[in-house]
Structure 1
Amino acid sequence: MAAGLTVPIENIALIQDNLNHYAAETGLSEELGEEIQVDGQLKIQEATVEVVEELNRLAPFGTDNLKPLFLFKNVESQDVRRIGGDQAHLKMKLVEDNTFLDVIGFQFGSVADEIGLYSDVSVVGKLAINEWNGSRKTQLMLEDLAIEGVQVFDSRSTQIPAALCNTEQADFIFFDQLNFEKYGHLLPDTSFSHHLTDGAAIDQFEMKTTQLIFVDCPSDSEWVKELLIANHPEKIIACFYSREELYLNGIPNRNQFGQVFKYIATHVDIDVRNKLTLLATHLKIKENNLIFIISVFLEIGFVTITDGVMNVVKDVQKKELEQTTTYKKRLKQIESENFFVYSHFSELESWMKQQANATL
């Protein structure tokens, strides 16, 4: 059950590299995992304190009398986190039929980064009783686990997390050009950045890794759906950062459209290139909403902008604002942001898993 040798300290790294290389080349590394003999499969509701006390009557446990190992198959993970001073250990809850079981995994800390919230997992471990402040409940000492299906992680925030750009072996999806220019070149050499701006780019995209990271929010929710169905990632990180926060700003009402048009109609040579902020302050309209209103007017033909100077166009036929491409695009962006940024994560996770498991 053991082996040893004597070697100069300076050669340890070299020996380790060569052993690892040999194991990888011969396929031995895939066969080294010890086979676990499971004594039985339980439902979480069956793992009671009384059951553990009954099992403990088989003690003492040791080499010739191993403590029973139990399998809990396809149960839901919750509250997954690292614990310990060096964050080396794993703690989580398993849920099945509204019954909970605490799990402790010593030296499983790194696995916490691979288990998404509400993921389906199968775990093997030894049952024990945890006593705290007079309360006694069952917990599982983890021996091994398998993560079922695609994993989805919630990294949504009011900014792009700095640590996100350190993720190795991932495909980063940028829909926003400014974010792509700012962060795309900061990624590790093992990861890839992709700037996708339209349906054609979505159709041509192919993953280079098994991990997909949505850095920012798309203009159209269908783009994410198409990417997931076509590529079937094993791991998804949902950041969906929204620089403009269109959902919170909403769409300007007709009074605001009328207010801006009235100002434009009564002024000439409006310097929108250099004085847009001042104009927004004067009209008491958010600057990005003012840009949107002007964009709609420009599409309809109500105004012209030449070298940053805007003027009204006289005697233009009345047109419906809602029928413009600019207006319709804004509605889609708001709908997309509402779902990807503000929906409950369980809803978003369920939807993304459904798309990733779908077929074309």
Structure 2
Amino acid sequence: MEDFSTKPDLASRALGGGVVFANDEFFAAADHLVMPEPPTYSPRTFDHKGQVYDGWETRRRRSLGQDVAIVRLGAPGVIHGIDVDTAFFTGNYPPHASVDALAVDGYPTPAALQAATWVPIVPKSPLDGDTRNLFPVHDNRRFTHVRLTIHPDGGVARLRVHGDVVPDPTLLPEVFDVAALANGGHVTGCSNMFYGRPHNMLNPGLARHMGDGWETARRRVDGNEWAEITLAAPTQVEFVDLDTTHFKGNAPGSASLRGSLAGGEWFDILPAAPLTPDTPHRFPVRPADPADRVRLDIIPDGGMARLRVIGRPDRKILEENFRRHVEAG
């Protein structure tokens, strides 16, 4: 089975995802479902409603029915898998869950979302407690919202919606960050991610702390560490941002960026440039050719908070990709 969990979490709060409706949040708010941090638990920590949980928890049902939470994806796209994480819910997790998806334009109200016609992507399935329950999804359509239904009640710590971002090109400017997760960039490989995953570099905004970037183990052999990123579309790159914010004693000594188009040979976009710790760097670049993927080499190792690859993409490719996934249904 494909390890879909390595793909971006389209529902993550880090990408702008949010819970727009929940029919019951008696014990714990549904907003916890989309938090990017792993869930935590402190035993025997009580408030006026009981044990405090880092997740969504509904009251015990005394009538037929089920509980529902609707999530707006921070980055609409093609869903490859769902992770219903019941971490720390042991005697109070739902025995079953199902997930539906929806594609809708604009900013619908909770009432409009509840009345919409949803597409089942995970049928009613058994759950285990205190476990990441993983469900692959095989649907090539672009979705904007998901609905988690727990049968009949209980607690879920996190809902991860892993997939590929498919941006709407009508909402993008002529020049933008084509490596950003929110714009359709994604990591396709890296040499080492001991302390932090490379897709963190592609998150929106400034890094909150050192753990919100890509960091490798200390390299004890010759060579250097690297990460490869597929861009939103073939792009004429104009600027490269390498941000070492928060990395003070562990920033790379230098870094370079190379590009490739359609699987061709690598070419220089940014030759190896020295880096300063805890500093945002911006480099104007003028590569002769467009690129649809890039390789960041950090020399020899260390951490990078953010990578931005700013340029002018091929609008036709963006539009074709969007149309293909919208029309897939």
TM-score class, shorter-chain normalisation, is: under 0.3
The higher relative CO (CA closer than 8 Å, separation ≥ 6) is in: 2
Larger radius of gyration: 1
TM-score, normalised to structure 2, is 0.24
Larger fraction in helix: 1
TM-score, normalised to structure 1, is 0.22
Larger fraction in strand: 2
